[in-house]
Chains A and B, each alone.
Chain A
Amino acid sequence: MKVKYIVGILIIVGFVAFAAINLSKSLTPYVSLDDAKKSTKIVQVKGQRVVGSENFDVEKKVFTFKMADDKGEQFEVIYHGVKPANLEQAEEIVVIGRYVQGHFEAEQLLVKCPSKYQAEGVEI
């Protein structure tokens, strides 16, 4: 009978350890562009898009655009996916990925739209 409990507890401990390791591994902090350049982990960087820099590369089939971080430093973002529909209105963009070889390789784009968007639509 005791064997069963020991096995059970071992499995639970194993699961918790497994989850804890994965959790700490996959935590992606917000960092500055400078830190992103140094880091080899997946990070997220917040910034603004550079208007008019969006381009869908037909040959490479990637979406690229330029972003400026909080200090105004510009960097190129490469995203292997579909351009988010509301990118043009984005007040802020969060790119999640790695900085490699002079550009940011984004795995995910989060587009933060103005929260007061509808309020500003009032015409008087």
Chain B
Amino acid sequence: MISGIFAVSLAFVAASVSAAAFWLFYRDEDERYLNLAHRSFAVMGAAVTFAVVLLYYHIFNHNFQLNYVYSYTSLQLSAYYLISTFWAGQEGTFLLWLLFGTLFGIALIRSTSRREPLVMFFVMLVQAFILLILLKKSPFAMIWHTHAEVPVGFMPQDGASLNPLLQNPWMIIHPPIMFVGYSSTVIAFAFAMNAMVKKQFAQWVIDARPWVIFSTLFLGTGIIMGGYWSYVTLGWGGYWAWDPVENASFVPWLFMAVLLHGIIIQIRQNGLVRTNLFLGGLGFISVLWGSFLTRSGVLSDFSVHSFAASDLNLYLITFVALFSGMFLYYFIISLNLVKSPKFAEGIFSRETFILIGMMSLLFTGIMVFIGTSSPIYTGLIGEPANVSIDFYNTISIPVAIFMLFSMAIAPVLVWKVSELREKTTLMIAGIISLLITVIGVILGLMKPVSIILVFLSSFVVIINGIVAYRLIRKFPAKGGAYLSHIGVGFMVIGIITSSMYNESEKITLPAGQFQPTKFGYDIQFVSFEERADGKDRAKMIVKKQNGSYEADPQFYFSEYTQSYMLSPHVKVGISKDIYISPISFMPGQSRHRHQLEFTKSETKEIDELRITFNRFMVGEHMDQSPMAVKADLTVTFMQENDSKEYSVQPAIWMEDGKLQGNEVRVPETPYKIHLESIDANEGRIMLVVEGGSHQEDGPKDVLSIEVSEKPLISILWFGCIVLITGLTISWVDRSRKKKS
């Protein structure tokens, strides 16, 4: 599409001009340059917006000549899922990234661009680079550009559609939120770069602070939504798998969260100046690195759901190398210029404990970063190897202990003074946490690690709860940090109980029978329930002592993936979730289906039937449609001492461009016959015979399922909501203060 490619090209030129003009304004302080910078920014913004609207226009008009529209959409998709096809492919997500970059640019122009033009210079530099990638891999490429075998001007009837796993309400909202988070990390980077170029290291943390909270909020929300989507749709029973794609979002989140705390120390104590500069760059660079890992295809042997291999390697690695190199250059120069006074003198000061928490998170981030990248560096010295999930789980435990410990003690400490205050509050919180832990042990908490973590998490929740309660009564807007920590405490409890004490059982269910489970309830597989949207469900009844409920996990054949799609049924409860996921299905005798080919006058036997194809009947008894063709069959139902002969005439006709056929029951037998296809020239037909044995006790349909109980997983989701709420409060508070 020429207009789309033109828009991207124009945006690229405008972004480059704008970046140059912001830099010239910084150097010469000439108003004309600022005007030029703002105008070319406006051109870039308009061109990017136009490209977004144009892509949507083509998606909604089903213009399958566009490779992107062909690859990810189809006529059947509802409007909601058409919206989400925008971020189904790499090109669309880059466009989304650009759109958010533009919105952040507007916010920065309105707040700090006159005072800090270099910040916009770096933001526009990144925009220009992403636009360059979009010129290489355009969302507006025609299908014959990407597929050499397709003739120019060809219009496919329908698109390849969207992967059914992504046809889920969470997938409408999760990716854009994730990309708001990713793209916003450029702002902290730009402020840090600006500080280093100008050699002024104090102001940037104040300016960048609301943006750092913003990035932490959106990355966190996106990750949580992704986990919840995985839990309710993928059916493997978990919400986090340490997959490269997940890690690529987790690492920047941790780095931004560490920076958030580092900024607090710098503002309060003038400390951690170098660390904060480094973290400012690290967040954005980890986003770039994550994009490279997941989009270049280098990990496609190691991940279940990275994007497929692409030809963008060179661009992406240049992108990473260029920005990392630029950042490191300025960082090394700045190291000697920074004067960072001593701080955290006493052990029991608040800053010491914040530092412990920061180090725990930073350590986790670096380790996950190293672990996820392992195929790259091991590939340089030999066969590429990746790390197993055990690595991440093992290192998380000691880190979690330190992190929780710091969050449990820090709220009662004060700045600069090393003194353990509020001993009574600590005592009360300790006693309550101990009680909770004892109750936990009585209820089945066994493993030492889980006992320690539950105790510390309870401590975190209670002590932060007490402090937040006191604070919020006086300053309602100041509770965000404590609330976030309460959320983290709840989350750890939920993670421990639902993962370490998750119990599951695989059972097989012959249709119609109640089967006992070890959880004390019986499950019956009733039948398949056909749905209009094609997403059939396996209907089950779960009978408990106090009532019963219906479970209906999805289980259907997808044309898109040419395989069975499974989705769990989750019975949500406060104390536990009951999670049922289908594993496999074996049809019994009653579902037997045979396909047979006949030429004229041919006779074949199947089960208890002998079928003879006599002739085609055209133009006789046209009750279905004028175009109908019937096959005249003689069917003999063979019993041991008694055979009966029937005349059966299934029909086939064209309707709305598709072949339609009717199903004809062979009278007095359990068999049904329909015409699958005909070849009038050769005189051949394809018959499908369905049905089966007369006997009631023949093999039944058998469904295999996995039932699991996830104790207290509700606490995890509750903690997530509390964390997001806390971060939102902090963000609103910090952005408001900045304006005044």
Q: Mark A residues whose CB is within 8 Å of B.
A: 1, 4, 12, 15, 18-19, 22-23, 25-31, 42, 44, 46, 56, 58, 61, 63, 81-89, 94, 96, 107-108, 110-113, 115-119, 121-124
Does A122 contact B391, Cβ atoms closer than 8 Å?
Answer: no
Kindly identify which residue among A12, A26, A82, A113 contacts B391, using a CB–CB cutoff of 8 Å. Answer: A26
| A–B Cβ pairs within 8 angstroms, 11 of them | A4-B347, A15-B363, A18-B398, A26-B391, A29-B383, A56-B586, A56-B704, A61-B704, A83-B584, A108-B389, A113-B308
Q: Which residues of A contact B565 (CB under 8 A)?
A: 85
Q: Which residues of A contact B324 (CB under 8 A)?
A: none
Kindly identify which residue among B71, B235, B371, B385 contacts A118, using a CB–CB cutoff of 8 Å. Answer: B71
Does B388 contact A28, Cβ atoms closer than 8 Å?
Answer: yes
Q: Which residues of B contact A87 (CB under 8 A)?
A: 563
Kindly identify which residue among B165, B347, B378, B506 contacts A61, using a CB–CB cutoff of 8 Å. Answer: B506
B564 interface residue per 8 A CB criterion: yes
Does B388 contact A29, Cβ atoms closer than 8 Å?
Answer: no
Which A-chain residue is minimally distant from B234 (CB atoms)?
A: A85
Q: Which residues of A contact B146 (CB under 8 A)?
A: 119
Kindly identify which residue among B72, B150, B345, B506 contacts A122, using a CB–CB cutoff of 8 Å. Answer: B150
Which B residues between 284 and 338 are near A, CB-CB below 8 angstroms?
297, 300-304, 308-309
Does A110 contact B388, Cβ atoms closer than 8 Å?
Answer: no
How near does chain B come to A53, taking the closest CB pair, in angstroms? Answer: 14
Q: Which residues of B contact A1 (CB under 8 A)?
A: 345
Does B506 contact A94, Cβ atoms closer than 8 Å?
Answer: no
Does B702 contact A27, Cβ atoms closer than 8 Å?
Answer: no
Does B506 contact A18, Cβ atoms closer than 8 Å?
Answer: no
Which B-chain residue is minimally distant from A84 (CB atoms)?
A: B304
Kindly identify which residue among B384, B561, B583, B702 contacts A89, using a CB–CB cutoff of 8 Å. Answer: B561
- Asked, given contacts A15-B363, A23-B371, A112-B300, whether A86 binds B561 with beta carbons under 8 Å apart, the answer is yes
- Closest 9 A/B residue pairs (Cβ): A115-B308, A29-B385, A26-B391, A61-B506, A56-B584, A118-B160, A26-B388, A27-B385, A26-B387
Does B394 contact A27, Cβ atoms closer than 8 Å?
Answer: no
Does A124 contact B583, Cβ atoms closer than 8 Å?
Answer: no
How near does chain B come to A57, taking the closest CB pair, in angstroms? Answer: 10
CA distance A66 to B584 in the complex (A): 18
Which B residues between 139 and 154 are near A, CB-CB below 8 angstroms?
143, 146-147, 149-151, 154
CA distance A100 to B576 in the complex (A): 36
- Asked, given contacts A122-B147, A122-B149, whether A27 binds B563 with beta carbons under 8 Å apart, the answer is no
Which A-chain residue is minimally distant from B394 (CB atoms)?
A: A22
Interface centre among A4, A56, A89, A122 (most CB of B within 10 A): A122
User: 1/0 contact trace for B366-390 toward A, CB 8 Å?
Assistant: 0100110010001000111111111
Kindly identify which residue among A19, A85, A86, A113 contacts B395, using a CB–CB cutoff of 8 Å. Answer: A19
Does A23 contact B303, Cβ atoms closer than 8 Å?
Answer: no
CA distance A1 to B561 in the complex (A): 63
CA distance A42 to B301 in the complex (A): 16
Kindly identify which residue among B385, B387, B581, B586 contacts A82, using a CB–CB cutoff of 8 Å. Answer: B581
Interface centre among B154, B235, B303, B391 (most CB of A within 10 A): B391
Does A19 contact B386, Cβ atoms closer than 8 Å?
Answer: no
CA distance A121 to B160 in the complex (A): 7
Does A27 contact B160, Cβ atoms closer than 8 Å?
Answer: no
Q: Which residues of B contact A110 (CB under 8 A)?
A: 301-304
Does B562 contact A88, Cβ atoms closer than 8 Å?
Answer: yes
Which A-chain residue is minimally distant from B304 (CB atoms)?
A: A110
Kindly identify which residue among B147, B300, B385, B563 contacts A85, using a CB–CB cutoff of 8 Å. Answer: B563
CA distance A40 to B309 in the complex (A): 32
Given contacts A85-B566, A117-B308, 10 further A-B contacts (CB under 8 A): A19-B367, A22-B390, A29-B384, A42-B388, A61-B506, A61-B508, A82-B581, A89-B561, A119-B71, A124-B154
B132 interface residue per 8 A CB criterion: no
Which B-chain residue is minimally distant from A58 (CB atoms)?
A: B508
Q: Which residues of A contact B143 (CB under 8 A)?
A: 122
B432 interface residue per 8 A CB criterion: no
Q: Which residues of A contact B508 (CB under 8 A)?
A: 58, 61
- Asked, given contacts A18-B398, A115-B297, A115-B308, whether A28 binds B562 with beta carbons under 8 Å apart, the answer is no
Q: Which residues of B contact A124 (CB under 8 A)?
A: 149-151, 154
Interface centre among A30, A83, A84, A118 (most CB of B within 10 A): A118
B359 interface residue per 8 A CB criterion: yes
Does A86 contact B563, Cβ atoms closer than 8 Å?
Answer: yes
Does B300 contact A115, Cβ atoms closer than 8 Å?
Answer: yes
Q: Which residues of A contact B301 (CB under 8 A)?
A: 30, 46, 94, 110, 112
Does A58 contact B363, Cβ atoms closer than 8 Å?
Answer: no
Which B-chain residue is minimally distant from A15 (CB atoms)?
A: B363
Does B706 contact A82, Cβ atoms closer than 8 Å?
Answer: yes
How near does chain B come to A59, taking the closest CB pair, in angstroms? Answer: 9
Kindly identify which residue among A31, A61, A88 contacts B383, using a CB–CB cutoff of 8 Å. Answer: A31
CA distance A56 to B705 in the complex (A): 11
CA distance A27 to B302 in the complex (A): 12
CA distance A107 to B241 in the complex (A): 13
CA distance A113 to B297 in the complex (A): 12
Q: Which residues of B contact A86 (CB under 8 A)?
A: 561, 563
Does A30 contact B395, Cβ atoms closer than 8 Å?
Answer: no
- Asked, given contacts A85-B561, A124-B154, whether A58 binds B384 with beta carbons under 8 Å apart, the answer is no
B717 interface residue per 8 A CB criterion: no
Q: Which residues of A contact B345 (CB under 8 A)?
A: 1
Q: Which residues of A contact B702 (CB under 8 A)?
A: 58
B60 interface residue per 8 A CB criterion: no
User: 1/0 contact trace for B120-164 toward A, CB 8 Å?
Assistant: 000000000000000000000001001101110010110010000
Interface centre among A42, A61, A108 (most CB of B within 10 A): A61
CA distance A29 to B157 in the complex (A): 45
How near does chain B come to A69, taking the closest CB pair, in angstroms? Answer: 14
CA distance A4 to B564 in the complex (A): 59
Does B395 contact A18, Cβ atoms closer than 8 Å?
Answer: yes
Which A-chain residue is minimally distant from B72 (CB atoms)?
A: A118
Does B563 contact A89, Cβ atoms closer than 8 Å?
Answer: yes
B236 interface residue per 8 A CB criterion: yes
CA distance A110 to B299 in the complex (A): 12
- Asked, given contacts A19-B395, A87-B563, A110-B303, whether A28 binds B704 with beta carbons under 8 Å apart, the answer is no
- Asked, given contacts A29-B383, A89-B562, A112-B300, whether A122 binds B236 with beta carbons under 8 Å apart, the answer is no
Does B704 contact A58, Cβ atoms closer than 8 Å?
Answer: yes
CA distance A29 to B377 in the complex (A): 12
CA distance A47 to B694 in the complex (A): 44
Q: Which residues of A contact B706 (CB under 8 A)?
A: 82
How near does chain A come to B251, taking the closest CB pair, in angstroms? Answer: 15
How near does chain B come to A92, taking the closest CB pair, in angstroms? Answer: 8
How near does chain A come to B397, taking the closest CB pair, in angstroms? Answer: 10
Kindly identify which residue among A4, A12, A30, A61 contacts B385, using a CB–CB cutoff of 8 Å. Answer: A30
Interface centre among A30, A83, A112 (most CB of B within 10 A): A30
Which B residues between 682 and 740 are near A, CB-CB below 8 angstroms?
702, 704, 706
Does A82 contact B149, Cβ atoms closer than 8 Å?
Answer: no
User: 1/0 contact trace for B335-363 toward A, CB 8 Å?
Assistant: 00000000001010000000000010001
